[in-house]
Structure 1
Amino acid sequence: MSESSSQFEKRKQDHIRIALDPRSQAEGLSGLDKVQLTHEALPNMNFEEVDSSTSFFSTKLSAPFFISSMTAGHEQAPEINARLARLSAEKQILMGVGSQRRELADSEARNEWKEVRKQAPRALLMGNLGIAQIIRTPADQVQALVESLEAVGLFIHLNPLQECLQPEGTPEFRGGYEAIEKLTKKLSIPVIVKEVGCGFSQDTLKRLYSLGIHAVDVSGLGGTHWGRVEGYRSSEEELLFQVAKTFENWGLSTVQSLLNAKEISEKIPVWASGGVRDGLQTAKLLAMGADLVGIAQPWLKAALENEKAVAELYEKLLLEVKIAMFCTGVQNVGDFKTKRVWKWHEH
């Protein structure tokens, strides 16, 4: 059953409202509280020498964190995304756009991103489609979608639990591996496969790594839990609400998912997200081997406020990352690869 335009918009507005509800957060399950960075009392450098920049292919990024994909296609979305895109342009950090699923059926929906792009021509935007859409959509149509966005990369999101619990969900994943492999061969930009908050097992990662993708964003348990979000869209007496309760802690933690990825291969870039709320947690994931770290909910909160809040969040995150680097004796992001500055800290 296909959704009407108004049903789609209501679903997207529900998602934002519920994603900001503390009940939808898998608080304390990311594993990050068990990771401790090793304090360096005498760093052999000055603080101003700390370099937080990194790169995505030939593009220099000012920070090792990015704005994770969040929302699109409803009344609040253009303002939220314009604020974030302007920051992406000004500071040169990556920004994942919300799902472009609607654009496949409704070419008018592309106007939202055209307007955002007009306001932020230098924004580093990453396209975003779910695996069910990738399976059903010819590669040239996906190529046209990313071209209209002027995307620098494409996220393919995997969200089996969410699709099962969403009344309008499409849990049709058969042929997913083949579809990803076919697309990576035809697309002109890098493909990053991501979860949406339930993480990755080693077996899944092994199979994905053979498909020609650029990276995996492990997006583990610990932040906004989309099983919970979908559950809270139903009333308490409804079946989907009750089933969502059963699965409210489903998933592999962000830390475990990152460790799974690093154990399989040190060569394939790994991005990490899922419950990251500050620059110290960002530094922990970088220390454990993440190449880039994705943050979503804090950006959403800031973008719903105003432009100033978005700029202030960037400065806060950046300063926290740099202080964590200085206090572990790490001068640049690449040094995290060669120095072991973290350990387990069981409470």
Structure 2
Amino acid sequence: MYQSLITLLSILLCHTVSAQSLRSGFDKAEFMEVIRINAQFSASAEKAKWIPSPTHSVLLYRSPEMGLANQWQLWLKDQRVAVINTRGTTGEGISWLANLYAAQIPAKGSLQIDTNFTFDYDLAAHSNAAVHVGYVFSSAFLVRDMLPKIDFCYRAGIRDFIISGHSQGGGLSYILTAYFRGLQRTGKLPADIIIKTYASASPKPGNLYFAYDYEHAAKGGWAFNVTSTEDWVPQTPFTVQTLEDVPEVSPLPLLQNGIKKQPFFKRILLKMVYKKATRPAQKTVDIYQKYLGNFIAKNIRKTYPHFVEPTYAKGNDYVRAGEQIILYPDSAYHEKFMVPKDNKNMMFHHALPPYYYLMERY
């Protein structure tokens, strides 16, 4: 597969690659091709029945499994756009660890994954930005394999890149996009590379400050997340907002100072009410970090024994990011995708076929 990448790019090098092909804004036809590419990661009869093969793209490279059972593929669309597609969750337990490792870490820092493998990342400029640690862990392996292929494409004259993924692949698309934009900020990746992102059915990638930064960098129509209202996955990880998530300049200092100025008994009462209102959220964050941080990290160390557990961010305020494309199923959809009364498939509305059906009618 790697040899086919070299051969195809060598052919491209003999021809002049046309000017920029990607345009800002949501492009339905472009995204439909992305779904067809996403479906190539699965040979299931269901996906083969509902989703045709890509019509404008050719596969250049498919990676081996790496990290937490992660995998990616590189396609060439219309002979001028490179499509980086990341696989979603598989049935393997280790693949689910990437989702469940949902404590947050600062959006700038490093992960010590092995004795000779440290992943330095800079995913947002805002100092309060925080991201999903499991997706950063998985991205560390992916970018190490992706960067040489991006260099191949660039030397072949390709400047346009689509980053895509469904489900967990969508969550990884956020991190990968932010990582590559960070490399561009520091001059480690060419500034003339154009990145457009299509995530679908994606979990939430980080906190509000990360979303602010991500959307600011992609403003003007360069990053999208497609979501069905019937899909539960985009509502995860569950979010908890605490006072730590509020900006420094806010009404809180005034409230706290106001309580201090009250008469003794009234001050005691107000402090008690304040604690009752704020402590439950902080306790929930502590529980999340214990089980979705410390406990999952111990399980990851069964595969990566030299992984050093990072210091987690203080909050767990997860929000969706990017420009949202919302798919609203109607009665025709529910007739076609009727959930059996005894159905136990929790991914019924999350799979690619329902998304493809809805996007055809979008």
Q: TM-score, normalised by structure 1?
A: 0.32
Higher RCO by CA contacts (8 Å cutoff, separation 6 or greater): 1
| Larger radius of gyration between Structure 1 and Structure 2 | 2
Q: Which has the higher helix share?
A: 1
Q: TM-score, normalised by structure 2?
A: 0.31
